[in-house]
Amino acid sequence: MMRGMEEPEEPVARGPLSGCLVADFSRVLAGPLATMLLGDLGATVVKVEHSRGDDTRQWGPPFKDGESTYFLSVNRNKRSVVLDLSSPEGAADALRLAERATVLVENFRPGRLAAFGLGFDQLAEVNPGLVYCSVSGFGGAGTPGADLAGYDFVVQAMSGLMDITGPAGGPASKVGVAVVDVLTGLYATIGILAALGARRDSGRGQLVEVNLMSSALASLVNQSSAYLNTGAVPHAMGNRHPSIAPYETLATRDGVLAVAAGNDGQFRLLCGALGEEGLADDERFATNPARVAHRDALVTLLEERLAARPTSEWVEVLRAANVPCGPVNDLAAAFDDARRLGLDAVLEQSGTTGGVLSVSNPLGLSGSPVSYRRPPPPLGHDTEEVLEWLRTPHPTAPLDPG
């Protein structure tokens, strides 16, 4: 299914962050993802860009109607304003925006915005309720890593994520998307929402700090825990799980099948569906620790049976037996599956340069749903409107979130 702006307009529900003004001084991915999510939740987001625009505007191909699809992925529900922070006028306008903002998000080099009068301590004096979120690569101002540039690819390498990704015994591999940036953006969003919750009680904002390296290490969850608690250093295992079997891709007659038998009961169901009930009682495979210890032998036996049919048939058989499984899709097949499953995964918006497709926000809120009010903006599209509002000493109305 596809949500589209071409449908008859309905009143936009008041989002949980309606009335919240977000000053977005971030660029590339982690910060812009966080501010887009805040915008989806009803906040009014003003994206401040330099004259060249967010770096991702030039990251292509591919392009859609002249705009980078990378930029389009994380910049809906925003206004674009071009400001030169190095000029007195631009710095003054930026300060006006920060003084009126509820939230400010930035990912400049730590301490850099303070040179323009836009550091947290400076703004807390004039806007004590401001929630100020700083996103960095390796830590905030005053830390040894403050001067290091933070790029997802470098952090994937440094955090150990690349070392546990890819084929066993093969070269370290990055994940196929900037997953550390995405996770950091999600952590930033959580921190901002927590600070807004605390603000309701205290009336005061606070500094929220998040960095790519810490976000990556925290997101390694069981792998980090295994190392910290046992000293064992995990390495890449391909599609295998270090602690569960079978929890991997298995060869079929015409391809591979992802199977996730996460407990003994599911393994017994798998064996029954394959017509190999005796495997569940074999002492080598009767428990998960035993299956992990004898994984190679188990996989050989399973793949001998799976070779009898193509992947599509096994998916039907195993799902009918309540065995978690699925095909290994490319993106086209993935969106087809989402549509067949009845998920509203795709959003269509009409913009100044044509139609824009993006992935819908996955949050489902029954009382205060997310909303899609603005497509990703062309560079500087809203400069005049926003500056007029900022330069009005006492505006009678807030900046319209729509």
Paired with 80 in beta bridges are: 47
Are residues 261 and 184 part of one domain?
no
Residue 9 DSSP class: P
How does pLDDT run across 51-65, given as a tens digit for each residue? Answer: 999 999 999 999 998
Q: Is residue 276 assigned to a domain? A: yes
| CATH number of the structural domain spanning residue 191 | 3.40.50.10540
CB atoms within 10 A of CB 176: 7
Q: Is 110 helix (H, G, I), strand (E, B) or coil?
A: coil
Q: Look at residue 352 in the predicted model and tell me its pLDDT.
A: 64
Alpha carbons 125 and 95: distance in angstroms, whole number: 12
When divided into structural domains, the chain yields a total of 2
Q: Residue range 32-50: average pLDDT?
A: 98
Question: Rounded distance, CA 247 to CA 251, Å?
Answer: 13
- Among the listed residues 181, 201, 382, 400, the single catalytic one is 181
CA distances from 333 to 191, 209, 371 (A): 35, 38, 27
Establish if 232 belongs to a structural domain. Answer: no
User: What is the average pLDDT value for the chain, to the nearest integer?
Assistant: 94
In 3D space, the residue among 274, 275, 293 whose CA is nearest the CA of residue 283 turns out to be 293
Residues 6+ apart with CB under 8 A from 180: 152, 155, 156, 159, 161, 212, 215, 216, 219
The residue segments making up the domain with residue 127 are 2-221+362-390
288 & 215 share domain? no
Q: Are residues 53 and 198 in the same domain?
A: yes
Give the three-state DSSP class for 303: helix
What pLDDT is stored for residue 27 in this prediction?
Answer: 96
CA–CA separation, 357 vs 348, rounded Å?
A: 5
* Under 8 Å between Cβ of 298 and 259: no
- pLDDT at residue 1 tops 50: no
Same domain as 184, residue 322: no
* 285-320 burial: b if 16+ Cβ within 10 Å, else e: beebebbbebbeebbebbeebbeebebeebbeebee
Q: Residue 243's closest CA among 287, 282, 306?
A: 287
Give the E-state strand segments of 26-155 in sequence order.
Answer: 44-49, 63-64, 67-68, 79-82, 103-106, 131-136
The model's pLDDT over 323-344, given as tens digits with 9 standing for 90+, comes to 999 999 999 999 999 999 999 9
| Shared domain check, 382 and 313 | no
Q: Is residue 339 part of a domain?
A: no
Cβ neighbors of 272 (< 8 A, separation 6 or more) are: 280, 321
Establish whether 84 is a catalytic residue: no
5: confidence class by pLDDT, cuts 50, 70, 90: very low
- Which ranges of 136-263 does DSSP label H, i.e. alpha helix? 152-158, 179-202, 212-219, 221-230
Cα–Cα distances in Å, from 357 out to 33, 62, 72, 338, 379? 16, 14, 8, 15, 18
179 and 76 in a common domain: yes
User: How many whole angstroms separate alpha carbon 40 and alpha carbon 16?
Assistant: 10
Least confident of 160-164, 165-169, 278-282, 348-352: 348-352
Band the pLDDT of 363: cuts 50, 70, 90.
very high
Mean pLDDT of 357-372: 95
- For the chain, give percent helix, strand, coil, nearest 5: 40, 15, 45
Q: Which alpha helices (DSSP H) does 240-353 contain, by range?
A: 264-274, 288-293, 295-306, 311-320, 331-340
| Cβ count near 242 (within 10 Å) | 15
Predicted confidence (pLDDT) per residue in 126-147, tens digit: 999 999 999 999 999 889 999 9
Residues 301 and 153 in one domain: no
| 398 belongs to a structural domain | no
pLDDT grade, residue 12 (50/70/90)? low
What is the SS3 assignment for 358? strand
| 239 located within any domain | no
Residues 145 and 24 in one domain: yes
**87, two tokens:** 């000029």
Say yes or no: 178 and 270 in one domain. no
Residue 353 lies in a domain: no
Beta-strand pair 44-49/21-25: parallel
Residue 92 sits in the same domain as residue 180: yes
Q: CA separation (Å) from 31 to 22, 61, 160, 326, 364?
A: 12, 22, 23, 33, 22
Based on the domain organization, do 12 and 123 belong to the same domain?
yes
Cα 369 from Cα 6, distance rounded (Å): 19
- Domain assignment present for 120: yes
